[in-house]
């Protein structure tokens, strides 16, 4: 017989069920990752008392596991962009992000982000987060050196390149090797504690507490086996990450992501924050969307190859960001997908790759490769004949791969099987969450707000809304940026501070 647990994130407790408050604070933050640390810092600096509740023994969350890439620019350019001659206007950043996330992008959030992103870079630097003044002009998922600035999305790929002035905006935190998110979180945790934030580790938020008017009054947490009632005078800020580790929620909301084989995140990505928001009338939106990637570069030489479906046809410009390529594969109706490369490109793939795709055919001629792959006669032959003919002229009228990556594919050829579910590495995480204002205030279905409730990072539907439009750096950028706004707004409701951050920004160019 199944037993309903007493405490369930999907069921809020009523205020009258609470006998006493064990902890009282102005602002309670759930989760000590990227969004939570920034919410806590800003709320504390606004003068609020702040308590953070983190389920695990250390701060960090997925932010600490991340590459530490932060997507920033606009306002003329960050100091690193400017050093390398990349002037980046707010309008260019705004237009690019709108194009990436249309039609479900949130214009108000993208506007706030575009206006505040360069100042957010300065803020991170002020917190001690190191960024090297360097530009790495290579096609990489994240720098494996301690370099900073990279093109980390579709800036130089079609169709963006035809509409938006390209600028590199991926700013990787300085650390030799991959995984610089750990350095970012070390600094954000330190700064939060120095600002007077009280952190409770090994302390899971169980459910919200709501009053008769539907306002959030606090939450219940479990620490050392005891349930504690926490009163939050200003509000509760939910920064508990997304739901990529909750298979039941994935089946319910975003089943297509389960075609990937590597949910990336931390074990706390159970969707508890989203469920808590839903339990008090909050609306969850964009829940079907996720980052779904085929990280086929480095080596960048694979970009010279082509990807075909089971009809031997191309369907994407292979110089697109790896997340777009993965998402487009998900959207196609095909049983199989193959990366076709020449021997040169394959050589560098062997030396270094994340994709882990198997070689399933080789051919001294295109006909031989086509036969070995079991493709209908002359489909791949026709595709390559057309591709090579135009590539020789530096053109790709079918998929618009840019001239930089066009060269005819010479035999012998190799085919890698990149069909989801057949071994190739497909990491994914969720992009749906609570519907919030740019201030982090949680909205209900009728557009009204849940008083006292805020959400940020992947618990909210933020700036990144589409797998197709995702860029490396936009999730950590959005989590840290939105966390700051939510912290300020919650502190303000507790009577501390002066209001949302971007309103205080000097006018952007």
Site residues for ligand FAD, 100-139, by CB under 6 A, read none
> Does the protein bind ligand FAD through residue 476 (CB under 6 A)?
yes
Closest to 283 measured CA to CA, from 131, 460, 49, 159: 460
Give the total of residues touching ligand FAD (CB under 6 A): 41
Q: Check residue 298 for interaction with ligand FAD (CB under 6 A).
A: no
The stretch near ligand FAD (CB under 6 A) out of 74-82, 118-126, 234-242, 300-308 is 234-242
- 3-class state of residue 238 by DSSP: strand
Whole-number minimum distance, CB 344 to ligand FAD, in Å? 29
| CA 233 – CA 230 distance, rounded (Å) | 10
Stretch that binds ligand FAD, among 115-123, 265-273, 324-332, 435-443 (CB under 6 A): 265-273
Taken in order 453, 459, 460, 463, is the CA torsion positive or negative?
positive
The span from the CA of 427 to the CA of 349, in Å, is 19
Q: Does 326 bind ligand FAD (CB under 6 A)?
A: no
Take residue 35 and report the two structure tokens written for it.
């969004």
Token digits of residue 334: 């095909």
Q: Residue 239 interacts with ligand FAD (CB under 6 A)?
A: yes
Cβ count within 10 A of residue 23: 18
User: Least CB distance from residue 14 to ligand FAD, whole Å?
Assistant: 20
Applying CB under 6 A, among 142, 160, 189, 342 the residue interacting with ligand FAD is 142
Tokens 């206006």 belong to which residue?
115
Of 86-94, 413-421, 468-476, 491-499, the window that binds ligand FAD (rule: CB under 6 A) is: 468-476
226-238 and 216-223: which strand pairing? antiparallel
Is the CB of 53 or the CB of 339 nearer to ligand FAD? Answer: 53
Rounded CA separation 305/319 (Å)? 9
Residue 289 interacts with ligand FAD (CB under 6 A)? no
- Phi, psi (rounded to 5 degrees) for 428: -155, 155
Cα separation, 435 vs 239, in Å, equals 13
In degrees rounded to 5, what are phi and psi of residue 273?
-65, -45
| Among residues 192, 240, 366, 373, the one that binds ligand FAD under rule CB under 6 A | 240
Residue 61 as a binder of ligand FAD (CB under 6 A): the answer is yes
For ligand FAD, give the closer residue by CB, 34 or 452: 34
Instruction: Identify which range of 15-23, 208-216, 310-318, 471-479 contacts ligand FAD by CB under 6 A.
Output: 471-479
| 8 Å CB contact between 415 and 339 | yes
Contact 99, 469 (CB under 8 A): yes
Task: Please report whether residue 265 would count as binding ligand FAD according to CB under 6 A.
Answer: yes
- Choose which of 458, 465, 468, 492 interacts with ligand FAD (CB under 6 A): 458
Span interacting with ligand FAD, options 59-67, 369-377, 378-386, 491-499, rule CB under 6 A: 59-67
Do residues 237 and 28 lie in contact, with contact meaning Cβ atoms separated by under 8 Å? yes
Per CB under 6 A, does 69 bind ligand FAD? yes
> Which single residue is written with the structure tokens 């201030």?
439
Q: Give the residues lining the site for ligand FAD (CB under 6 A).
A: 30-36, 53-56, 60-63, 65-69, 142, 204-205, 239-241, 264-266, 268, 272, 429, 457-458, 472-477, 479
């Amino acid at each position: 017989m199944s037993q309903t647990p007493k405490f369930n994130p999907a069921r809020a407790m009523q205020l009258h069920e609470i006998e006493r408050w064990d902890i009282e604070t102005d602002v309670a933050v759930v989760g000590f990752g990227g969004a939570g640390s920034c919410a806590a810092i800003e709320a504390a600096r606004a003068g609020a008392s702040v308590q953070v509740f983190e389920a695990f023994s250390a701060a960090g969350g997925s932010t600490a596991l991340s590459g530490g890439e932060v997507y920033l620019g606009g306002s003329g350019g960050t100091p690193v962009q400017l050093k390398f001659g990349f002037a980046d206007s707010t309008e260019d950043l705004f237009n690019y992000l709108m194009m990436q996330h249309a039609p479900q992008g949130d214009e108000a959030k993208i506007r706030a982000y575009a206006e505040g992103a360069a100042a957010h870079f300065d803020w991170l630097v002020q917190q001690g987060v190191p960024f090297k003044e360097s530009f790495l002009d290579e096609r990489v998922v994240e720098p494996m050196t301690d370099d900073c600035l990279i093109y980390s999305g579709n800036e130089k790929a079609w169709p963006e390149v035809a509409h938006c002035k390209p600028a590199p905006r991926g700013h990787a935190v300085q650390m030799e090797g991959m995984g610089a998110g750990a350095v970012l979180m070390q600094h954000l945790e330190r700064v939060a504690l120095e600002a007077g934030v009280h952190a409770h580790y090994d302390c899971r938020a169980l459910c919200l507490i709501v009053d008769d008017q539907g306002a959030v009054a606090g939450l219940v947490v479990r620490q050392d086996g005891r349930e504690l009632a926490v009163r939050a005078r200003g509000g509760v800020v939910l920064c508990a990450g997304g739901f990529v580790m909750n298979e039941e929620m994935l089946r319910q909301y975003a089943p297509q992501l389960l075609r990937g084989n590597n949910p990336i995140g931390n074990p706390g990505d159970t969707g508890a924050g989203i469920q808590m928001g839903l339990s008090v009338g909050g609306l969850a939106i964009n829940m079907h969307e996720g980052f779904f990637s085929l990280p086929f570069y480095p080596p960048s030489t694979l970009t010279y190859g082509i990807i075909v479906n089971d009809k031997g046809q191309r369907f994407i410009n292979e110089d697109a960001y790896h997340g777009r390529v993965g998402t487009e594969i998900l959207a196609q109706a095909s049983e199989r997908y193959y990366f076709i490369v020449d021997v040169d490109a394959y050589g560098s793939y062997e030396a270094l790759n994340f994709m882990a795709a198997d070689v399933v055919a080789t051919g001294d001629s295109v006909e031989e490769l086509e036969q070995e792959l079991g493709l209908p006669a002359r489909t791949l032959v026709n595709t390559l004949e057309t591709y090579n003919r135009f590539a020789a002229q530096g053109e790709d009228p079918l998929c618009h791969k840019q001239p930089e990556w066009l060269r005819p594919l010479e035999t012998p050829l190799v085919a890698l099987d990149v069909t989801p579910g057949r071994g190739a590495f497909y990491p994914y995480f969720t992009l749906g969450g609570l519907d919030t204002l740019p201030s982090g205030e949680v909205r209900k279905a009728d557009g009204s707000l849940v008083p006292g409730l805020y959400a940020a990072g992947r618990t909210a539907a933020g700036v990144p809304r589409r797998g197709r439009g995702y860029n490396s750096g936009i999730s950590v950028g959005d989590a840290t940026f939105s966390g700051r706004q939510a912290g300020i707004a919650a502190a303000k409701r507790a009577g501390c501070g002066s209001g949302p951050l971007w309103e205080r920004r000097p006018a952007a160019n």
